[in-house]
Copies of this chain bind each other. A is one copy, B any other.
Amino acid sequence: MKKLINDVDSLLVESLDGFAAAHADIVTLGEGGPFVRRRRLKEGKVALISGGGSGHEPLHTGFVGHGMLDAACPGQVFTSPTPDQMLAAAQAVDTGAGVLFIVKNYSGDMMNFQMAAEMVACENATVVVNDDVAVEDSTYTTGRRGVAGTLFVEKIVGAAAERGDSLAALKVLGDSVNKATASMGVALTSCTVPAAGKPTFQIGPDEMEMGVGIHGEPGRRRVKLASADEIAAELTGAILKDLSLTSGTEVVLLVNGFGGTPLLELYLMVTAARRVLGGAGIKIARHLTGSYVTSLEMAGCSISVCAADPAALALWDAPVHTAALRWGM
């Protein structure tokens, strides 16, 4: 295993320390369990909290800040955070308007966030993200997995929270963004979880895992490596089928790297995805391209599409100031 670490046991804490130091203008580390929170809270605003296993950075810690999350609870690599972390985060960032939890659909995350939701004193609600159209049920999931589309939910709901929307309204909005979002990914190589010390899965030099999950869990099928155009056709085709988009629909397109794929290839995948979407008459109103929801150093990418009406696009465009996304301020 080749990683820039000192010790597997201290990896997360040392990484969070570096993150907090590098972004001290935006975030601070919470006490009473490792979590990342906004340095400055906004009184009367609903607090948005997400979290999940580490190894997907910049998700979620990189999305804490103005216009997105108020706190993120990182577990160990690919391991759910604990209810204690979520509870401590909720107590730290609730300013009286309640807490909205944004949870990717994995059994461990769901169970622990539900326990936290029951323990926390303040009013709260939960939006579950399950945008991955690759498979129903998977290694760590009952039902569809939550993957890169989580970024759309956190950005759009985050902007609405910033303008003062109520907890009830944000819950409705979050569910609607999730419903309007679909994703699917492909892996060319495995990732290696530090505590395991060996690749999560074996894959041949001419193979790819079509529909892979963000922990390297199996997708639809193991197939021979195909061209970027063929891959984009399969990923985007599955997304279009799931969302039943009609010609003329406006969308936000996220071409997301899993960690080990260079931007040179991700932008080529943008071209490939645009061919498919353009052919279907879909209008790409906004692009986001980069490694935002990763699987450690796994090579590959996912495509996410979020159907967005003008109101959702305005929330997408609203100012954001986090470690990983920053515009308008």
| A residues whose Cβ falls under 8 Å from a Cβ of B | 2-7, 11-12, 14-19, 21-23, 54-55, 57-58, 62, 77, 188-189, 205, 208, 225, 227-229, 231, 255, 259-272, 274, 284, 287-289, 291, 294, 296-297, 299-301, 326-327
Option from B18, B231, B326 in Cβ contact (under 8 Å) with A269: B18
- Which residue in chain B gives the minimum CB-CB distance to A5? B228
In the complex, the answer to whether A267 meets B19 with C-beta atoms within 8 Å is: yes
In the complex, the answer to whether B299 meets A268 with C-beta atoms within 8 Å is: no
Question: When A5-B228, A205-B2 are in contact, do A271 and B21 touch as well, CB less than 8 Å?
Answer: yes
Option from B205, B296, B301 in Cβ contact (under 8 Å) with A264: B296
- Residue in A2, A14, A205 with the greatest tally of chain B CB atoms within 10 Å: A2
Q: How far is the CB of A23 from chain B (nearest CB, A)?
A: 7
- Which residue in chain B gives the minimum CB-CB distance to A273? B18
In the complex, the answer to whether A267 meets B22 with C-beta atoms within 8 Å is: yes
Contacts of A205 in B (CB 8 A): 2
Contacts of A18 in B (CB 8 A): 255, 266-272, 274, 289
Q: A21 to B272, alpha carbons, bound, how many Å?
A: 12
Q: A254 to B105, alpha carbons, bound, how many Å?
A: 35
Q: A110 to B291, alpha carbons, bound, how many Å?
A: 32
The count of identical subunits is 2
- Which residue in chain B gives the minimum CB-CB distance to A74? B264
Contacts of A288 in B (CB 8 A): 22
Q: A208 to B19, alpha carbons, bound, how many Å?
A: 25
In the complex, the answer to whether B189 meets A2 with C-beta atoms within 8 Å is: yes
Contacts of A3 in B (CB 8 A): 188, 265
Q: How far is the CB of A163 from chain B (nearest CB, A)?
A: 21
Q: A270 to B270, alpha carbons, bound, how many Å?
A: 31
Contacts of A225 in B (CB 8 A): 2
Sample of 16 further A-B pairs with CB below 8 A, known A14-B272, A264-B296: A2-B205, A2-B225, A3-B188, A5-B268, A6-B228, A6-B268, A14-B268, A18-B271, A19-B267, A22-B287, A57-B262, A57-B267, A259-B262, A262-B297, A291-B291, A326-B326
Question: When A270-B21, A299-B297 are in contact, do A55 and B4 touch as well, CB less than 8 Å?
Answer: no
Option from B21, B23, B268, B297 in Cβ contact (under 8 Å) with A261: B297
